[in-house]
Amino acid sequence: MARKARIQFEGALYHIFNRGIDRRDLFWDDRDFYFFLDSLALGVERFHVEIHAYCLMTNHFHLLVGTPMGNVSRFMQGVQTRYGGYFNLRHRRSGYVYQGPYGAKLVEGDEYLLALSRYIHLNAVRLKKNEDRPVEALVDDLRAYRWSSYREYIRTAKRKDWMTYGAVETHVEEMMSRRRGAYRMYVELGLVERDEEFESLMKKGAGIIATQEFIHSVRDHMGLEASDDNVAFRSVKRPVQADRVLEVVCKGLGIDREELARRRGSAWARGVAAEMLCVYAGLTQVEAGRHLGMATSGAVSIRRKHFAEMRSRDMTLNKQAILIGHELDREMA
């Protein structure tokens, strides 16, 4: 049976999760954790998503991700491919890294953003081995856990410039009348009083965490189909044709197709084109290379990495890339 397409639209919010294949460890040491976080940071820069919370465990991860541009699939493909390649190369292994495609549940932000952020952060201590430990000990472990965004929220660790904290903090301040330390109190209260209604919703197999009103509004807005209670909507997003991607890239960079094809002097532009072909046309690096006259996927990878380095230093190029991305997102039908 074919895997159902992701629900994707501008402004969508998701609970994203995955684990190592056969429940094996996905992160072997600190270096692995740091590389995955770096992959998230790069994904935020490339795809303009918003990460509201994360928790990385030894054999799995949880993310709370907003997508202003409706591109969760491209974002997660980039993150998981980059980390998977690194993991196999570093640990001298081959084959699958993840148990399968990542899980992504659409979330109704106004209703469940806060509860989901708490759920994600509490994953750090909600372990079988901790079932009989006193709450005080769990609080200490939660505040000390290095691989979640909780310490950043309670300001015992430096905040990351690629994270988005404002939405969660606004929700909790409104709920708790702007009390000092409101988020810390809200999350740690979850160690004493479990939100059984929300946890029941989390355990359901449906691909959405929302009220029925929200579900109906999404269907009406997007003209999507659903069957029974497993709300796996059919996405209406489609990749942009490769020729159209190249046309938009050339227009955005102020060059013509002939210049893009030149081997000398156009390496920077070919890097932009390679990135956009992979992201917006959904091409593999080999396929992108064929469109650009590049012989190997390695050559395409080098050009993409060089482009990422250049746009971090060149604000003009970065602005051009953002505008090209916006144009291509509008092209997706």
Q: Confirm whether pTM is higher than 0.85.
A: no
Long-range CB contact pairs, 217-225, < 8 A, 24+ = 218/7, 218/9, 218/106, 221/9, 222/9, 224/7
* Coil/strand/helix, residue 181: coil
Q: Give the contacts of 36 (CB within 8 A, at least 6 positions apart).
A: 27, 56, 61, 79, 83
Query: What is the per-residue pLDDT for 209?
Result: 83
Helix segments in 223-296, DSSP class H: 242-253, 257-261, 267-280, 285-292
Question: Region 289-295: what's the mean pLDDT?
Answer: 83
Residue with tokens 């050559």: 299
- Confidence check: pLDDT of 98 > 50: yes
Query: What is the per-residue pLDDT for 175?
Result: 75
- Confidence check: pLDDT of 297 > 90: no
Write out the residue limits of the CATH 3.30.70.1290 domain(s) in the chain: 12-222
Between CA 158 and CA 78 the distance in angstroms is: 26
List the single range of 94-108, 147-161, 263-277 with lowest mean pLDDT.
263-277
In the CATH hierarchy, which fold is given to the domain comprising 12-222?
A: Alpha-Beta Plaits (3.30.70)
Write out the residue limits of the CATH 1.10.1750.10 domain(s) in the chain: 242-331
Q: Give the contacts of 33 (CB within 8 A, at least 6 positions apart).
A: 27, 56, 146, 147
**Of 119, 36, 109, 110, residue with least CA distance to 76:** 36
- Confidence check: pLDDT of 328 > 70: yes
pLDDT tens, residue by residue, 236-284: 346 788 899 999 999 999 888 888 777 666 677 888 998 888 878 877 7
More confident residue, 171 or 261: 171
**Of 7, 76, 43, residue with least CA distance to 163:** 43
In percent, how much of the chain has pLDDT > 70?
A: 88
Mean pLDDT of the chain: 85
pLDDT tens, residue by residue, 35-87: 999 999 999 998 999 999 999 999 999 999 999 988 898 899 999 999 999 99
Query: What is the per-residue pLDDT for 1?
Result: 38
Taking the CA atoms of 301, 304, 309 and 310 in sequence, report the sign of the dihedral they define: positive
Query: What is the per-residue pLDDT for 238?
Result: 63
CATH of domain 242-331: 1.10.1750.10
